[in-house]
Structure 1
Amino acid sequence: MLRDDPLFYVVVAAVLGVLVILMIGIGGFAKGGEFNRRHANRIMRYRIIGQAVAIALILLFVWLRRGMI
């Protein structure tokens, strides 16, 4: 069961982390102004790194659990 697997919770945390970063980026873009000018590129880089980590964790999870069904 997925609830018994700690790696599942790590994957969920990584995906939620990407969602938070995305929402901060969208909020900054919508608001515009100084915050967006100063931080937009940095937030985009954090999102891309977070997505790469989340995808790697998802692939690891699928690879490790593929024969356990």
Structure 2
Amino acid sequence: MTTFLAILLVAAMIAVVVVFVRGLVLFLANATEEAKNGNSLSGPSASALKSNKMMQYRIFFQAIAILIVVLILFLASGK
């Protein structure tokens, strides 16, 4: 059971890194676009919305990783 949880933890950590890098790339693309075109008052761009969604996914995957760590520690303390 602990091995399965360890594999899930590694998968969650990889997901956090992948989503973080993707969000960072989208953020930088949005910043570059805004620097070229200036701030638009028509609301957030599609790139900014995608970057925000990546931030939400990153927080979600981090929460899953923390819950898995808590579960592993809980199971390890019971032995």
TM-score of the pair, normalised by structure 2: 0.69
Percent identity over the alignment? Answer: 31
Higher mean C-alpha displacement, 50-59 vs 26-35:
26-35
Q: How far is the alpha carbon of 1:35 from its aligned partner? A: 4.9
Shift of 1:28: 0.9
Number of residue-to-residue matches in the alignment: 65
Larger Rg computed on CA atoms: 2
Deviates more, 1:32-41 or 1:58-67: 32-41
Offset of residue 41 of structure 1: 1.4
- 1:61 aligns to 2:69 (yes or no): no
RMSD in angstroms over aligned alpha carbons?
A: 1.9
Give the partner amino acid of 1:40. Answer: S
Give the Å deviation of 1:38.
Answer: 2.9
How much does 1:67 deviate? 5.1
Q: Are the aligned partners of 1:28 and 1:35 in contact in 2 as well (CA < 8 Å)?
A: no
Answer 1 or 2: higher relative contact order, Cα 8 Å, separation at least 6.
2
| Partner Cα separation in structure 2 for residue 10 and residue 20 of structure 1 | 15
Is there any run of 5+ residues in structure 1 with no aligned partner, and where? none
Unaligned runs of 5+ in 2: 34-44
